[in-house]
Amino acid sequence: MEPINCNICAADDTQPVVCQNGYDIVQCKRCGLVYVHPRPEADVLSKLYDGYHQRNGKDIHSWSVLMKLIYKECAGMLTNEFPRGADVLDIGCGYGHFVSVMSDLGFRASGIDPSADAVRAALHNGLDVRLSTVEDLSFGENSFDAVTMFYVLEHLRDPLYALKRVFHILRPNGLLILRVPHTTPVVKALSAFNIKNNLYDAPFHLYDFSPETLRLILTLSGFSSILITPGAPTVPHVFAEMLVSRAASTAARLIYKTSGLLIGGVSKSATAVKPLSGAEAR
């Protein structure tokens, strides 16, 4: 096991949140970031991801259904923001469903993913996908107009470094769209009633971002014009889970629309822009 400091503020000053699956989840007392500490070594984590996309009965079709509303929402954002032919990279693309969506809309869409099985399936379908991680990105500076990261940031060992790499490969005025879970408020509420749960899904999820810590890490990475919203819901293949997802998303979006408040326990979508440099802005 590997002890770590806070990824945002580098402090080693935490308070316990809960223990799940034998892993301690802690919260930084300085900035509020929630993370697994200590965590498995890198090689152990890599082996744990073998077969990740097939967990809990999922397959290539169920992943497509799970994310379809989020993909539709984000595709709308990108078509409103950029002309057809713009370069879009989906990090953690899985089977390549969003790459396919954007390609069909006329964008130059590509993706990366660390799962060899998922990448093989995407290549079989003729998609521009490569086996890679965000830490190993080989793209040059200013390569993409937009980058998407759907439920990726919470899995990464060093999310701050990853976002700085994304900032590097985006063109000035380029757009980052990401999606992360926000689990801690629900876990704390359930813990108060001694209700056991596995909502953190440790050690697959190494971090849990609140709107505040998400905004902070994006700002530290260089991004501006940060907007955080509830976003569209996932569509789980289990009927009861699907109902909960839709109900929670509907409530969260209504509250946000009427009051501007972001309630806890519901996944958050964020958009952030790589600002123009001084010379480019003139």
Q: Over the stretch 179-216, which tens digit does the pLDDT of each residue have? A: 999 999 999 888 888 888 888 999 999 999 999 999 99
**Residue 78 belongs to what domain range?**
48-281
- Of the pLDDT bands very low, low, confident and very high (cuts 50, 70, 90), residue 136 is confident
Span between the terminal Cα atoms of the chain, in Å: 50
DSSP percent split of the chain into helix, strand, coil, nearest 5: 40, 25, 35
> At 89, which amino acid appears?
L
CA gap 23, 32 in Å, rounded: 18
Amino acid 142: pLDDT? 96
**Is residue 148 domain-resident?**
yes
Is the confidence at residue 147, as pLDDT, over 90?
yes
Is the confidence at residue 43, as pLDDT, over 70?
yes
**Is residue 67 domain-resident?**
yes
Report H helices in 82-202: 97-104, 116-124, 159-169, 184-192
**Is residue 172 domain-resident?**
yes
**Is residue 30 domain-resident?**
no
- Of the pLDDT bands very low, low, confident and very high (cuts 50, 70, 90), residue 42 is confident
Question: Total domain count for the chain?
Answer: 1
Is the confidence at residue 267, as pLDDT, over 50?
yes
Supply the CATH number for residue 201's domain. 3.40.50.150
CA gap 59, 174 in Å, rounded: 32
Task: Tell me what the mean pLDDT of segment 23-50 comes to.
Answer: 91
In contact, 50 and 43? CB cutoff 8 Å = no
Amino acid 259: pLDDT? 93
Amino acid 85: pLDDT? 97
**Is residue 53 domain-resident?**
yes
**Is residue 40 domain-resident?**
no
- Give every strand in the sheet of 268-273, ordered side by side: 129-131, 108-113, 87-91, 144-150, 170-180, 268-273, 224-229
**Is residue 17 domain-resident?**
no
Q: Give this prediction's pTM.
A: 0.93
pLDDT in tens, 77-91: 999 999 999 999 999
Tokens representing 59 are: 């397959």
Tokens representing 199 are: 């909502």
**Is residue 42 domain-resident?**
no
Is the confidence at residue 279, as pLDDT, over 60?
no
Cα Dmax for the chain: 58
Amino acid 192: pLDDT? 82
